[in-house]
Amino acid sequence: MEPIWKDYYITLGTADSVAYRIRLDDAAGEIIYQGRAYLRPDETDVTVRINDICADYFSGVVLNLSQAALSAMTLPVTFYVEAYDETNETWSEADTVQFLDDWSYDRSYDPATMGLSFPINGRIDARMWIPYTAVDADSVDMVIHYTDGTTATVIVPIAISDDFNSDFNADFARHSQAAGSGTAVFNLSAWTGVDYVTLGNATYKVVTDCGRYALYYKNAYGGYDAFLLEGTCRRTDALERSTVAVEYDNRNVQNRGVSNYVNEYKQRWILNTGILDDEAGLMMHHLLNSTDVYLYDIDAGEMIPVVVTDTETAYKTYKTAGRQPVRYAITVEVAQEFARR
């Protein structure tokens, strides 16, 4: 099981060049790449680095929280590398590797024992979906802890739903891959009197009506987490106006001088986290460095793909914040361009 950030080389043969391909799962699986590698000067074997190629397979995943079951893909993903024998005109297996979508650059990380979920503040609104990304699992046991001290265990499946191919909200089409690889989600809205829940290595404190917005994101280790925003959230529109100047003629409304024929704008949000402790502040890189972030409107039940536009991640603690409470203001931009004509 290898992290996708770590260089992984495969030897294909000793010819001047070798055609090769990468399959998913087994010899009958989908071919995700096919190309030719060439012998480098002063080397005797043709080698190829495949982690960058396989990384493309993980990209473009779109999160969907309309169902309680997200994905049929099992993590880690197995990739089969095959080399082509020009003489016998046959393909043979050169190597097999399992990758996780792990961009942590953390050599001490062990997914088998540490898991893939690392919620930052560990708080979640009772109306939200709870995500959990698992390694080599078809389901995950969620333990519900009630305020009266009792517990209940719910088995949450990691499986693709029947109507997965329905539209992602009104404006965003789903990627052809299964969304949220290896991720199960569970909605607590039908459960009452819940204090907190545990799923594997993740724990979420359940709160009620503490905010309207939340962020869902892929963390540094490749798992999906949720972050409840308990501070103020404000939307702004960044406008770019296009105008044309014509000769002014007060007898013709079309010749009004300067005309604004289109306004292109981007929706931006300034999201405030609320107060965090030192441990949560040191984990903010999971969110701020993520390339896969979604803004969730809890009241409307709408999931909006966004891009974090902040260009710096500050690791705030109580001491480094001048002994003031740790808060973050996160700027995101909706991943859709709008125009008014």
pLDDT given for residue 253 in this prediction: 67
Residue 111 φ/ψ, nearest 5 degrees: -65, -30
pLDDT given for residue 315 in this prediction: 80
Q: 34 pLDDT exceeds 80? A: yes
Residue 286 φ/ψ, nearest 5 degrees: -60, -40
Encode pLDDT of 256-305 as tens digits.
677 777 888 788 889 989 888 888 888 899 999 998 888 988 888 888 88
Most confident range (mean pLDDT) of 22-26, 282-286, 337-341 is 282-286
Q: 9 pLDDT exceeds 90? A: yes
pLDDT given for residue 262 in this prediction: 82
- Mean pLDDT value across the chain: 81
Comparing 14 with 313, which gets the higher pLDDT? 14
Q: 163 pLDDT exceeds 70? A: no
Confidence of residue 314 (pLDDT cuts 50, 70, 90): confident
> What separation in angstroms does the CA of 230 have from each of 4, 125, 139, 215, 329?
33, 10, 30, 11, 11
Q: Is the pTM of this model over 0.85?
A: no
Domains of the chain in start order, with CATH, are 2-58+76-100 (2.60.40.10), 116-235+264-340 (no CATH)
Q: 148 pLDDT exceeds 90? A: yes
Q: 92 pLDDT exceeds 80? A: yes
Using alpha carbons only, how large is the chain's radius of gyration in Å?
Answer: 25
Q: 321 pLDDT exceeds 70? A: no
Q: 200 pLDDT exceeds 50? A: yes
Encode pLDDT of 217-269 as tens digits.
989 998 889 999 988 888 888 777 777 777 777 777 667 677 777 888 788 88
Residue 14 CB burial class (10 angstroms; 0-12, 13-18, ≥19): exposed
pLDDT given for residue 152 in this prediction: 92
pLDDT given for residue 11 in this prediction: 92
CA distance linking residue 132 with residue 75, whole number of Å? 12
Cis peptide upstream of residue 157 (ω within 30 degrees of 0): no
CA distance linking residue 71 with residue 181, whole number of Å? 6
- Residue 261 makes CB contacts below 8 A (sequence gap 6+) with 242, 243, 244, 341
Q: 83 pLDDT exceeds 90? A: yes
CB 213 within 8 A of CB 334: no
Average pLDDT estimate for 331-338:
82
